[in-house]
């Protein structure tokens, strides 16, 4: 598991002629294996489109997206995706949801069972293996969604504002848990958020995007030790840097 | 609990209303008393033809079952095709939209000419009647399957075909079941009409026979029998649905 994600001069356009909309232009960024990178930006800057392209749901109009040496041409098991809504399959139990990926990829039953047990343990929901999604709280659902996305042992995890729909307390808990999971699994994470606090708390680097057209304004390396203290001066200083850049992105002069 | 009280209460009330009116009518003679039989008289009438009831119910149920199965297989199959492929949608949907407004009973004379007075014409008409609602519900359910769930499946490595069978189809199950339940109701509905017109046995025919004999009590019994059998049949289907769709958040627990 040591593959970089490389976006080189990525463009995204909709329509043609007068209807033409440039959603993203000349986006380039390289994400190292094991790195935690967040993307923040005002709404409409195309951060979700960017993630959808990396996930393979959208194809880019120009430029290249590569995971290792492979160009991304569609969705695949090497990239786990966590959505804002939990997107769990409601007719499947927690266990069936988590085992879905390995199952469609033809794992043996023994390996699937072991993997599911390991992941249930990782997210602390071993007692809920046979529960249906409707029986879980919002935070528990999102934890299952993370476990499901990890089940295939993907090269990287793509997370599109995964905690935005949760209440503040649950969100804080899941942020800690995500960091713990990231440290334990060493997976690369590309994390979309609109929260400066969240980006500063979680990431190694924060890419700030601006809208019209969507592009990356700058990428900030946080260089903050972990675990992070949200009241320390270093943290507040880093948060301020992100916030100022985002302000520039939101009010282009 | 209070739901049950209300339900039983309302049925009891309507039943009491009927019974009360029939007794009142026997004294006041608004209509000839034989025209409005009381519940005990209707039960008595049923007892009088008790040897025919089981075979009538059975033959009617077989007709419904055969027609319904044909409709379900075709409806679900074509609905899935239309729901997943734009080409299939354009080929199938317009034809069905033209056939759909034609009352199924309009086809019975044609089917009788083509297939004779036997079982086939009735079964086909029942199939024709219940097919559309099953098709439309399946089509809508599959067509509008949650794209987020499809994306999730694709991102987990499911190919297009696998994601249809494992995600698209199951996520359409609530709609498909609604179609099946409505289709079964429809099948039952036209069964009686078909038997009134072209049969020499079955629950519908027994009402027709009672009409020739001018036995209103037997007609009441026939209608009640159809009501009870239909109620049990649709109730069983509803039970099955609740069991199979237990994963679905219900109205009371929706969040």
H-helix segments, chain B: 2-28, 39-48, 53-84, 86-99, 107-115, 119-143, 147-155, 160-163, 169-171, 173-197, 203-212, 216-244
What does the pLDDT look like over A187-214, one tens digit per residue?
999 999 999 999 999 999 999 999 888 9
Tell me which of A48, A67, A90 to substitute to probe the interface with B (most B C-beta atoms closer than 10 Å).
A90
Tokens of A165: 């729909």
Domain extents in chain A: 1-72+188-253
| Contacts of residue A149, Cβ cutoff 8 Å, sequence gap at least 6 | A80, A81, A82, A101, A157, B155, B156
The chain-wide mean pLDDT, for chain B, equals: 91
Q: List the 88-117 stretch of A: residues with Cβ below 8 A of B.
A: 89-92, 100-101, 104-105
SS (H, E, C) chain A: CCCCEEEEEEEEEECCHHHCEEEEEEEEEEECCCCEEEEECCCCCCHHHHHHHHHCCCCCCEEEEEECCEECCCCCCCEEEECCCCCCCCCCCHHHHHHHHHHHCCCCHHHHHHHHHHHHHHHCCHHHCCCCHHHCCHHHHHHHHHHHHHCCCCCEEEEECCCCCCCHHHHHHHHHHHHHHHHHHCCEEEEECCCHHHHHHHCCEEEEEECCCEEEEEEEECCCCCCCCCCCHHHHHHHHHHHHHHHHHHCCC
Strands laid side by side in the A62-67 sheet: A21-31, A5-14, A62-67, A70-71
Chain A residue closest in CA terms to B255: A134
What does the block give as tokens for B106?
């309009």
Tell whether domain B37-244 is in CATH 3.40.50.970: no
- Is the CB of A79 inside 8 Å of chain B's CB atoms? yes
The β-bridge relationship of strands A5-14 and A156-160 is unpaired
Question: b/e string for A169-192 if b means 16 or more Cβ within 10 A?
Answer: ebbbebbebbbebbeebebbbbbb
Please tell me the distance from the alpha carbon of residue B30 to that of residue B135, in angstroms, as a whole number.
48
Per-window interface: A 188-227 vs B, CB < 8 A: none
Q: Indicate the DSSP class of residue B215.
A: -
Closest-CA residue of B relative to A75 is B155
Q: Nearest CA to B248 among B176, B154, B187, B151?
A: B176
Chain A residues close to B177, C-beta within 8 Å: none
Question: Mean pLDDT across the stretch A33-47?
Answer: 93
Contact B247 A92 (CB under 8 A): yes
User: Is A87's Cβ below 8 Å from some Cβ in B?
Assistant: yes
**d(CA A113, nearest CA chain B) in Å:** 17
Mutate to test the interface with A, among B146, B154, B157 (most CBs of A within 10 A): B157
For the domain made up of A1-72+188-253, the CATH class stated in words is: alpha beta
For residue B172, what is the nearest residue in chain A, using CA coordinates? A91
In a mutational test of the A interface, the residue from B156, B174, B250 whose CB has the highest number of chain A CBs within 10 Å is B156
| Contact between chains at A79 and B155 (C-beta distance less than 8 A) | yes
Q: What is the pLDDT of residues B153-173, one digit of tens each?
A: 999 999 988 999 999 999 999
Tokens representing B170? Answer: 């199951």
Judged by a CB distance cut-off of 8 A, whether residue A139 touches chain B is no
Contact B253 A134 (CB under 8 A): yes
Gap from B83 CA to chain A (nearest CA, Å): 20
Residue B111 has pLDDT above 60, yes or no: yes
Task: List pLDDT tens digits, range B194-252.
Answer: 888 888 899 999 999 999 999 999 999 999 999 999 999 999 998 999 888 988 887 66
Residue of B148, B155, B169, B252 for testing the chain A interface, max A β-carbons within 10 Å: B155
Interface size A-B, in CB pairs within 8 Å, comes to 76
CB nearest A90 (choices: B157, B166, B248): B248
Q: Any idea what the Cα angle at residue B106 is, between residues B105 and B108, rounded to 5°?
A: 65
Instruction: Give the mean model confidence (pLDDT) for residues B14-31.
Output: 91
What's the pLDDT at B108? 84
- Nearest CA to A178 among A18, A38, A32? A38
Which residues from B are below 8 Å from A when comparing CB atoms?
A: 148-149, 151-159, 162, 166-167, 170-171, 173, 245-249, 253
Per-residue confidence (pLDDT) for residue A1, from 0 to 100: 47
Could you tell me the pLDDT band of residue B117, with boundaries at 50, 70 and 90?
Answer: confident
CB A219 within 8 A of CB A205: yes
ipTM value: 0.92
- Closest-CA distance, A138 to chain B, in angstroms, reads 10
**pLDDT band at residue B21, thresholds of 50, 70 and 90?**
very high
Question: If you ran DSSP here, which 8-state letter would residue B234 be given?
Answer: H
CA-based nearest residue to A194, from A52, A37, A38: A38
Among candidates B158, B170, B253 on the partner chain, residue whose Cβ is nearest the Cβ of A104:
B158
């Amino acid at each position: 598991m040591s593959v970089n994600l490389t976006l080189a001069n990525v463009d995204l356009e909709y329509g043609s002629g007068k209807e033409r909309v440039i959603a993203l232009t000349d986006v380039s960024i390289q994400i190292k294996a094991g790195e935690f990178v967040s993307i923040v930006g005002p709404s409409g800057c195309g951060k979700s489109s960017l993630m959808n392209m990396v996930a393979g749901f959208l194809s880019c109009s120009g430029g290249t997206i590569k995971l290792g040496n492979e160009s991304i041409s569609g969705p695949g098991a090497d990239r786990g995706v966590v959505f804002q809504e939990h997107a769990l399959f409601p007719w499947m139990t927690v266990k069936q949801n988590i085992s879905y990926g390995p199952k469609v990829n033809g794992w043996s039953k023994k390996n699937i069972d072991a993997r599911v047990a390991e992941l249930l343990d990782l997210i602390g929901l071993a007692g809920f293996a046979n529960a249906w999604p409707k029986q879980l709280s919002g935070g528990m659902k999102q934890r299952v969604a993370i476990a499901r996305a990890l089940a295939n042992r993907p090269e990287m995890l793509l997370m599109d504002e995964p905690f935005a729909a949760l209440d503040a307390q649950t969100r804080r808990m899941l942020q800690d848990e995500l960091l713990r999971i990231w440290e334990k699994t060493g997976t690369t994470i590309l994390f979309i958020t609109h929260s400066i606090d969240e980006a500063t708390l979680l990431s190694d680097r924060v890419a700030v995007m601006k809208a019209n057209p969507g592009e990356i304004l700058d990428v900030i390396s946080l260089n903050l030790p972990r675990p992070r203290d949200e009241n320390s001066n270093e943290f507040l200083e880093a948060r301020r840097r992100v916030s100022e850049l985002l302000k520039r992105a939101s009010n282009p002069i | 609990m209070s739901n049950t009280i209300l339900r039983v209460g309302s049925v009891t009330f309507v039943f009491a209303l009927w019974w009360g009116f029939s007794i009142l009518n026997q004294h006041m003679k608004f209509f000839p008393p034989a025209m409005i039989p009381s519940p005990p008289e209707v039960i008595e009438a049923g007892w009088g033809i008790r040897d025919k009831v089981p075979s009538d119910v059975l033959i009617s149920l077989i007709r419904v079952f055969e027609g319904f199965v044909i409709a379900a297989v075709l409806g679900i199959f074509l609905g899935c095709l239309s729901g997943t492929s734009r080409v299939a949608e354009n080929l199938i949907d317009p034809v069905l939209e033209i056939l759909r407004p034609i009352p199924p009973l309009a086809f019975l004379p044609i089917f009788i000419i083509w297939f004779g007075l036997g079982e086939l014409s009735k079964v086909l008409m029942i199939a024709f009647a219940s097919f559309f609602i099953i098709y439309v519900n399946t089509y809508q359910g599959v067509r509008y399957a949650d794209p987020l769930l499809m994306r999730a499946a694709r991102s987990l490595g499911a190919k297009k075909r696998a994601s249809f069978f494992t995600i698209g189809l199951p996520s359409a199950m609530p709609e498909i079941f609604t179609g099946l339940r409505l289709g079964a109701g429809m099948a039952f509905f036209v069964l009686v009409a078909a038997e009134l017109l072209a049969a020499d046995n079955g629950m519908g025919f027994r009402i027709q026979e009672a009409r020739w004999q001018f036995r209103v009590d037997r007609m009441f019994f026939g209608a009640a029998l159809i009501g009870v059998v239909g109620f049990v049949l649709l109730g069983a289907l509803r039970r099955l649905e609740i069991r199979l769709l237990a994963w679905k958040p219900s109205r009371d627990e929706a969040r």
